[in-house]
Amino acid sequence: MRIDSVIDRAEIAPGSAGVIPLDVVNTSDVIDTLSVRTLGFPASVTTRSEPEELTLFPEAEGRLEVQLAFPDTFPAGNYHVTLVVQGRAAGSTEAFHDVEVTVPPRPEASISARPTLVRTRGRAIFEVTVDNTGNTTLDLALRALDTDRSLRTSIAPATLSVPIAGTAVTAVTARGPRQLLGTDQDRPFRVVAEAEGTTADVTLTLRQRPVFGRGVITMLVLMAILAAWAVAMLVGMREVLGTDPPTRVAPASFFAASPEGDGGMSGTGDTGSAEGAGVADPATGAAPAGAVSKDGLLPVGVGATITGTVQGADDPAGVGRLNVEALRESADGLVLVSSAASQTDGTYTLSGLFPGEYLVRVSSPGYETVWHPSSTEESTATPVQASAQEVTDGVDLVVTGDPASIAGRVSTGDVDDAEVTVTATPTWAAEDLPPLEVQTDGEGRYELTGLVAPGTYDLTFTADGYQPTSITETVLGGQERLALDVTLGTGAGTIAGTVTDGTDGTDGTDGTDGTDGTAGLGGVEVSTTLDGEEIVVGTPTIGQVGSFVIAGLPTPGTYVLTVSKDGYGTESVVVDLGAGESNTGVNVALSGGAGTITGRVVDESGRGVGGVEVSAGGAGTVSTTTLTAGDVGAFVLPGVQGTATVTLTFTREGYVSASTPVDMTQAPPSGIEVTLAELYGTIQGQVTDSDGGVAGVQVEATDGANVYRTTSTASGSAGAGSYLLPDLPPGSYTVSLVRDQVAVTTAIVDVEQGTPAVQDLPLPEGG
């Protein structure tokens, strides 16, 4: 059988299918029916050929088109697949074609919440669920977006690492401002989950109830009407029955003319009073229709308006929540007339102003006070002319804030925190402001100080072996901002190597030399388990014979490779991958006629014990180590040779070694369970005084983390005053005699495994 194909590399997206054509020649002397199968993919990959079977005469040629269909959530990575064409005729040989298949990453997530609407007076809690519907692990950062900024929201946790086809849940808490009166008010906001290459969001609603409902308000209104009616009746009766009612008349100068008056409105210096039509009635002193007060602000549409934008000196983005004030000169100096807070985009509006000139300034804690247009002193400020019923725009101000800081914490998952580089880069074009870079401490914490404020920064987090991530933070003047915690996801790992047959490659076989001069072995199945699913790859029979690659493995982790081929023994190799690590030097030699023993090592409580060395004696000693992750304590011991009884030996520091015989004349045994007893130390001795042993004295031993107590007895191995502290982990202990909660005698004792430490403790005179 011979195969030719123009495709040896293919890229197939998840959720789609790819076709690999195979031109097959029947090199046998008989008519044969051929079919194709694949090595290298789990059962989730659908494989079929067109046609399913191909019948060829001797030396005839035909084509098989192999279609590989990948599910949507198939993990991204590079995979080695071997296509095996085989016939039905007796003595038919197999033909192999190797293809490197690349599955590109397709990050995708969906987000949902339960419930999406909560009716409450103050706080609401929503359960948000994020599903990874893509084919790569997602490291998601969640944030809440409230368009009118009326809510206080928090998300715990705010970062999620979701495996392929996995689900993660977080809690979103929202609090609204207290609402005394009115009806229910809906306060919608969005929760956004972001990862590299994908974004998902869900809309939540806090329906806020007032403290006092409509029924209470209606009752209060009725009571107010009754009270007003009673007051009106009382005042009316006093007016009707009074004999000499008092008369009060306000002077005409108290009132300013309305815009509709005949005389119009003309400002008069500092007071802003008006002359002309619309003065008070000289007889009664009553205000004319439309009159306005000479002090305070004018109604909307009558007075002048000043608008502008507050921007940062370095970052040109608008700055919100700053206090903008309008002041005017008076006989007593500057008088504050109006003030307003800048909006999120930095814009502000000062309305209802009397016509005239004003000084505009912005001042808030953490910022230097600035007078329009860019002065730090009142004396050099430029007045702004405000005209009645007109808007004076473009009154912009540029502020400089005090240096700010950003602090936070970076986690690297379940492994020990690695040193992470945190880089803060200004989002604006700041050629004279280079990025600021710091390293996290031993607990993953960092602090970026001396940041130019106000400003927005992109924070990037990088570490060897981990996927980089970034967030955006905005700091205000003098702000000590606490950023969201960030969790870095580890990069994918790779295991690669070569399978050999243990020969020197000089016997005329068609294999190529391995790395150590041995012959590579093709057609070998190399398998491991990922998330409960088996991954199988095959070694090629041409080209890089015997080589294999398993890519896209989550790290850090421990993987057990099982290497097998018909006619050869089965070998297992344990490979530990660090964060983002690739181990490309895994070399395995298969030998024929060997058996495999499986089992598990537990302690006296039934828990698995990892890191135990398991070895089989006899002809050709083989050994392995029990798993430290996943099925802890499990072991697979392949390549055990022998036709009689083989003795297995189990050893690990801190435990009593054990051995068990295995009968190899039967089927390869499995399910062997061995119990190892732990080794502990003891401290023993005698409490004495000048008269001999003393019973009833409290003895304490501590290693700094734990305290162990006992009491001396009237009898024992050493006589009266004997004490014993058993089952102590090896280490250094402080042993003390305690009277009335006070240590009266102290000694330092070193405890070793399986060895009793003897320490006598004398009581001091008078103790």
CATH of the domain at 13: 2.60.40.10
Query: pTM of the entire structure?
Result: 0.39
pLDDT of residue 371: 93
pLDDT of residue 252: 42
Contact 398, 370 (CB under 8 A): yes
Please report whether residue 293 resides in a domain. Answer: no
Contact 337, 390 (CB under 8 A): no
Please report whether residue 253 resides in a domain. Answer: no
Do 392 and 455 fall into the same domain?
Answer: no
CATH of the domain at 517: 2.60.40.1120
pLDDT of residue 353: 87
Q: SS3 of 137, please?
A: coil
Do 675 and 694 fall into the same domain?
Answer: no
CA angle 596, 600, 605 (to 5 degrees): 170
SS (HEC) of 502-560: CCCCCCCCCCCECCCCCEECCCCEEEEEECCEEEEEECCCCCCCCEEEEEEECCCEEEE
Last residue of one domain, picked from the residues 81, 103, 125: 103
CATH of the domain at 157: 2.60.40.2310
pLDDT of residue 670: 74
pLDDT of residue 504: 52
Do 418 and 382 fall into the same domain?
Answer: no
Q: Say which residues have a Cβ less than 8 Å from residue 181's Cβ, sequence separation at least 6.
A: 210, 211, 212, 217
pLDDT of residue 515: 47
Do 187 and 163 fall into the same domain?
Answer: yes
Do 654 and 599 fall into the same domain?
Answer: yes
pLDDT of residue 642: 55
pLDDT of residue 265: 40
DSSP 453-495: SSEEEEEEEE-TTB--EEEEEEE-TT-EEEPPPEEPPBPPEEE
pLDDT of residue 242: 55
- Bridge-based pairing state of the strands 9-11 and 95-103: parallel
d(CA 592, CA 107): 45
Do 670 and 689 fall into the same domain?
Answer: no
Please report whether residue 242 resides in a domain. Answer: no
Q: SS3 of 702, please?
A: strand
pLDDT of residue 135: 86
Please report whether residue 175 resides in a domain. Answer: yes
Cis peptide before 454 (omega within 30 of 0): yes
Q: Which two structure tokens, joined as six digits, stand for 596? A: 């495999």
Last residue of one domain, picked from the residues 413, 446, 475: 475
**Domains of the chain: total:** 7
d(CA 501, CA 499): 7
Contact 312, 455 (CB under 8 A): yes
Please report whether residue 243 resides in a domain. Answer: no
Contact 612, 600 (CB under 8 A): no
Please report whether residue 169 resides in a domain. Answer: yes
Do 189 and 203 fall into the same domain?
Answer: yes
pLDDT of residue 81: 86
Please report whether residue 49 resides in a domain. Answer: yes
| Residue count of the chain | 767
DSSP H or E stretch at residue 235:
helix 214-241
Do 384 and 435 fall into the same domain?
Answer: no
Do 574 and 555 fall into the same domain?
Answer: yes
Which has the closest alpha carbon to 20: 95, 92, 81? 81
Range(s) of the domain holding residue 494: 490-592
Please report whether residue 425 resides in a domain. Answer: yes
pLDDT of residue 236: 77
SS (HEC) of 61-104: EEEEEEEEECCCCCCCEEEEEEEEEEECCCCCCCEEEEEEEEEC
Residue 406 carries which DSSP code?
E
Do 365 and 408 fall into the same domain?
Answer: no
CATH of the domain at 465: 2.60.40
Last residue of one domain, picked from the residues 57, 79, 103: 103
Divide the 767 residues of the chain into consecutive groups of 10 and give the mean pLDDT of each group.
Answer: 84 89 86 86 83 86 90 84 85 84 90 89 88 89 83 87 89 84 82 91 89 73 89 78 47 43 39 41 53 58 86 88 89 86 90 89 90 88 89 92 92 72 87 87 90 91 85 90 84 87 50 55 88 86 85 85 79 85 87 73 88 77 85 83 74 85 68 85 88 89 90 79 86 90 88 83 80
Do 531 and 502 fall into the same domain?
Answer: yes
Tokens 């022998």, residue located: 642
Do 584 and 609 fall into the same domain?
Answer: no
Which has the closest alpha carbon to 616: 630, 598, 634? 598
Q: Say which residues have a Cβ less than 8 Å from residue 468's Cβ, sequence separation at least 6.
A: 460, 461, 462, 488
Q: Provide the residue type at 754 as one letter.
A: G
